[in-house]
């Protein structure tokens, strides 16, 4: 009954793995540093991590909207089912047509499936590419003045673990968001209030964003992909809240204000 957690050292994956381990369930981490190693870019590593696995948390790095993601998800899903995997839980992106193509592949795989379709993570401001800008006090992004229902990764992990470890979630698509809409300027205001520091949002062009990201060590391909997500996905298509957290867990989603208050020490080292 081993559960494979792909991206098991990432934002959602490590939380999922920790929760499953706390439930005394056998977990295998899928990452380049694990044994056996797993790398989305090296298909020769895929069979080894599937040995003896019945359930998979399927998360893709850097994002399902990136070129090549669909082909990888399709090939891995087919391999997993042939290897005996009976349950798949896919981490997907809200408002991403490319991600929804991967969803259909999982849904048509013949295995039990659950799709966890998420809006932008709150933890992007505390653990990822936006942590540095928040610490600097200026969040500069090619994002329009469009609200987004940011979701807490802790909520995502709780829903994923329920789908991986419990019955009753097969065939369900849970759309996860926070309980309210916020623009990036409003997020900056929330962060400033929580930290007692000046933190502002500045809109930049996609070209300016890519150049700055590359200067900080991000690859050109990844910087361009992230810029495309900001300019394409943040066009208003996701400017609504969904009730997936309550549907899956019977409780409300965590609000950004609560996240910011609890996370303030990260931004005030």
Q: Over the stretch 144-188, which tens digit does the pLDDT of each residue have?
A: 889 999 999 999 999 999 999 999 999 999 999 999 999 999 999
- For residues 256, 259, 262, 267, the Cα torsion angle rounded to the nearest 10 degrees is -90
Residue 193 forms part of a structural domain: no
Residue 157 forms part of a structural domain: yes
Is 98 in contact with 74 (CB distance < 8 Å)?
no
- pTM, two decimals, is 0.95
At residue 38, the 3 state secondary structure works out as coil
Name 122's Cβ contacts closer than 8 Å, sequence gap at least 6: 150, 151, 152, 153, 178, 254, 256, 259
**pLDDT of residue 222 exceeding 90:** no
pLDDT band at 200 (very low <50, low <70, confident <90, very high): very high
**pLDDT of residue 269 exceeding 80:** no
Residue 92 forms part of a structural domain: yes
CA distance 263 to 257: 10
Residue 205 forms part of a structural domain: no
* Structural domain that includes position 42: 2-121+151-178+239-254
Residue 225 forms part of a structural domain: no
Residue 139 forms part of a structural domain: no
CA distance 204 to 184: 12
Is 72 in contact with 60 (CB distance < 8 Å)?
yes
Tell me the backbone φ, ψ of residue 11, rounded to 5 degrees.
-60, -50
| The residue to which tokens 């009753």 are assigned | 168
Task: Calculate the alpha carbon distances from 268 to 1, 122, 127, 129, 135 in Å.
Answer: 42, 17, 14, 17, 8
**pLDDT of residue 229 exceeding 90:** no
Structural domain count, the chain: 1
Residue 209 forms part of a structural domain: no
* Mean per-residue pLDDT, 185-214: 96
Residue 269 forms part of a structural domain: no
State the sign of the Cα–Cα–Cα–Cα dihedral 180, 259, 7, 18: negative
Any idea what the CATH number is for the domain that residue 84 is in?
3.40.50.720
Long-range contacts of 6-10 (CB under 8 A, 24+ apart): 6/30, 6/31, 6/38, 6/56, 6/57, 6/58, 6/59, 6/60, 7/31, 7/57, 7/59, 7/60, 7/61, 7/91, 8/34, 8/57, 9/33, 9/34, 10/59, 10/61
- For residues 18, 21, 26, 28, the Cα torsion angle rounded to the nearest 10 degrees is 20
Annotate 184-235 with DSSP letters as a single string. HHHHHHHHHHHHTS--EEEE--HHHHHHHHHHTT--HHHHHHHHHIIIII-S
**pLDDT of residue 44 exceeding 90:** yes
The pLDDT tens digits of the residues spanning 97-127 come to 999 999 999 999 999 999 999 999 999 999 9
């Amino acid at each position: 009954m081993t559960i494979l957690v792909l991206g098991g050292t990432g934002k959602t994956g490590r939380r999922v793995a920790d929760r499953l381990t706390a439930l005394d369930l056998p977990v295998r981490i899928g990452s380049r540093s694990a044994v056996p190693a797993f790398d989305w870019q090296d298909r020769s590593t895929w069979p080894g991590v599937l040995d003896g696995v019945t359930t998979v948390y399927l998360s893709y790095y850097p994002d399902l909207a990136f070129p090549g993601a669909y082909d990888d998800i399709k090939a891995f899903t087919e391999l997993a089912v042939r290897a005996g995997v009976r349950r798949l839980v896919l981490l997907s992106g809200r408002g991403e047509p490319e991600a929804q193509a991967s969803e259909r592949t999982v849904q048509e795989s013949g295995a039990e499936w659950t799709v966890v379709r998420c809006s932008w993570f709150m933890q992007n401001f505390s653990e990822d590419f936006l942590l540095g800008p928040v610490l600097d006090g200026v969040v500069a992004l090619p994002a329009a003045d469009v609200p987004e229902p940011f979701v807490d990764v802790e909520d995502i992990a709780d829903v994923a673990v329920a789908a991986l470890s419990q019955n009753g979630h097969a065939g369900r698509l849970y759309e996860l968001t926070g309980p309210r809409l916020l623009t990036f300027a409003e997020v900056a205001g929330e962060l400033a209030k929580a930290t007692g520091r000046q933190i502002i949002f500045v809109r930049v062009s996609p070209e300016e964003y890519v150049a700055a990201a590359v200067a900080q060590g991000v690859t050109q391909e990844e910087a361009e992909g992230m810029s495309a997500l900001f300019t394409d996905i943040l066009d208003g298509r996701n400017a609504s809240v969904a009730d997936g957290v309550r549907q899956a867990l019977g409780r409300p989603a965590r609000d950004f204000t609560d996240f910011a208050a609890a996370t303030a020490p990260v931004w005030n080292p």
